[in-house]
Structure 1
């Protein structure tokens, strides 16, 4: 969407190039789209567009850039001009405008024209109009995504209830029936068959409970540590939980942290060949340790299972980082939180 909007703006105006930064609440910015940048600015994956101090990003983060403005001197373009004077296509100055919807800000839209140092009131007004449309579109996309997540959560909850009320109950009834039938028969082969049915039914019940937990975190309303303990019981893991200090996560963080711990406990149950684990929870980090057989891992980008890759993505979704160390003496997973 950003690329399409930028292309239409440049091709439908006297601007020759443009680029868009997304900026987070801490002032970190990311170049998300560009169109017809001069070769000097495209070099090394747009190095000159993303490195070094930036007046417009700084002013934006300080709340002092509220409307379309001329940038008198752009230090990044100046550096590119000095290094590659024949490849800048006459671009020396640019105009900038914040992308926002109401009080919510998303980033900056920048445009430039060759051999032009200032932009007219009409050009800045056009920028404001386009920025408003882009900001509104970003807001609508965010709202749509939130609605989709709510609908997905509701559907997961419905599936969890249905599985619990129907399939789980039927499996439990099958287990009880097999147990009763095995106790009443005198035939050894029949008793063995009923015992196998009972054992298989119990395994299926355990798997179903774990699946229900995957769909709907149970016990989170009583706190993260309580939910973790309950899930460890489902997996038949002996879990020790240490909580350091007063901790309060928002709803999204708490659910994401729970999902990361849930996946870690699943891996311990399936692969570590141990029934014990320790979790340390603080406001700064979450540590999950076991004394299992471990595995070889060189970096978070080369994780040995799809589940560990999902954990890494979940950590990044809340601004955190995931560090994994493992040996034959056990595995340690550290979720470093952004706070």
Structure 2
């Protein structure tokens, strides 16, 4: 199949990016188009936080040596390009003469390298804001042409602009969602919840006044069903608006766990005093984890550790339930997991989700303060 011209490829990627609204699927789709439409045979994208910690976000056609053990060599350790990026020394598309990640993988699995020994790299940026690195490679290539580096620079600029657009759009959507959730919570509390409570009281009174067994049984069932509906409505209102958050994060989480009938064991280290934006998003992330445990974990126990230090907040959420395959969930673009990652990104944090079938789930979050 003939490769598109450079202009046609850039147009194709630009059109794709303009239509995408989700960061992770956008990254993968743009990278896939670049690899399939150029001389590059493989590529990967790192997100890099303010502390210099990198996260492998997307990869396409990695050789076996690099994809072994859940891309171990790509996820662990450090390398020149990440360090240069963090030190502000990597400002444009560049050749990497010697990559420690590729070297380590190739030494361990020299028969599965696909001829990949060197790669090119370029920072993903929008204006003065940087998000990470786009890396590409071609078999048996130790030096990439200026033309290929220019193509890489153009694609990186497009992706960086798309990341910034999605982040701004997400912030606007989040503000609108919070406003709408608050309105719905008020409406549900003031109307539907009150009506259900009235039905419950009426059924209780009717049960006491009735002399017929059949009528008493019916009124008793109406009262019980109404109470269940009231409980469900309260849980829904809590999901829409974290009532009680003004009394502290721990207090709000404990009350929400009671609504879900979960046993929440909380360990607090330091004084948990957070800015409103961080507190709201941390609450939502933990809430999502609790909901997942309730729905899929087949357990009622969750351990939560909140540790606030001078420069960061550490959060660990752990259950002992069913667990799941994290890699499979990433490939399926799980809505709940992506929400947690997006919220963490919004507050400039880093999230690590560790889980295996029948081995429970542990979520670790670090947020700079």
TM-score, with normalisation over the residues of structure 1?
0.67
Moved more, 117-126 or 196-205: 117-126
Any stretches of 5+ residues in structure 1 without a counterpart?
Answer: 290-295, 304-309, 327-331
- Partners of 1:78 and 1:92 within 8 A in 2: yes
Equivalent of 2:232, from 198, 207, 210? Answer: 207
Determine helix, strand or coil for the equivalent of 1:218.
Answer: coil
Aligned counterparts, 1:53-132, within 5 A: 54-77=79-102, 80=106, 83-84=110-111, 87-88=114-115, 93-112=118-137, 117-119=142-144, 123-132=148-157
Moved more, 152-161 or 250-259: 152-161
Which residue pairs with 2:48 in the alignment? 24
Moved more, 182-191 or 130-139: 182-191
Any stretches of 5+ residues in structure 2 without a counterpart?
Answer: 1-25, 309-313, 327-333, 345-350
| Distance change >3 Å, CA 31–CA 258, structure 1 → 2 | closer
Which residue pairs with 1:33 in the alignment? 59
Aligned counterparts, 1:1-339, within 5 A: 1-2=26-27, 5-6=30-31, 9=34, 15-25=39-49, 26-30=52-56, 32-34=58-60, 44=68, 50=74, 54-77=79-102, 80=106, 83-84=110-111, 87-88=114-115, 93-112=118-137, 117-119=142-144, 123-187=148-212, 189-231=214-256, 243-249=268-274, 250=278, 251-261=280-290, 281-283=306-308, 284-285=314-315, 297=321, 300-301=323-324, 313=337, 317=341, 318=344, 319-320=351-352, 336-338=364-366
Measure the CA separation in 1 of the matches of 2:292 and 2:77.
39
- Partners of 1:175 and 1:199 within 8 A in 2: yes
| Distance change >3 Å, CA 258–CA 93, structure 1 → 2 | closer
CA RMSD of aligned residues (A): 4.9
Measure the CA separation in 2 of the matches of 1:49 and 1:120.
26
Measure the CA separation in 1 of the matches of 2:299 and 2:35.
55
Which residue pairs with 1:293 in the alignment? none
- Partners of 2:264 and 2:302 within 8 A in 1: yes
Determine helix, strand or coil for the equivalent of 1:181.
Answer: helix
| Distance change >3 Å, CA 95–CA 182, structure 1 → 2 | closer
Q: CA deviation at 1:22?
A: 1.6
Measure the CA separation in 1 of the matches of 2:33 and 2:264.
57
Q: CA deviation at 1:302?
A: 7.7
Which residue pairs with 2:9 in the alignment? none
Bigger relative CO (Cα 8 Å, ≥ 6 apart)? 2
Moved more, 166-175 or 186-195: 186-195
Measure the CA separation in 2 of the matches of 1:185 and 1:108.
73
Q: CA deviation at 1:246?
A: 0.6
Determine helix, strand or coil for the equivalent of 2:324.
Answer: helix
Q: CA deviation at 1:65?
A: 0.8
Determine helix, strand or coil for the equivalent of 2:130.
Answer: strand
| Distance change >3 Å, CA 263–CA 212, structure 1 → 2 | farther
Per-residue CA deviation, residues 113-142 of structure 1 (Å, 9 max, x unaligned), is: 677654565554443233211211222233
Which residue pairs with 2:10 in the alignment? none
Moved more, 246-255 or 109-118: 109-118
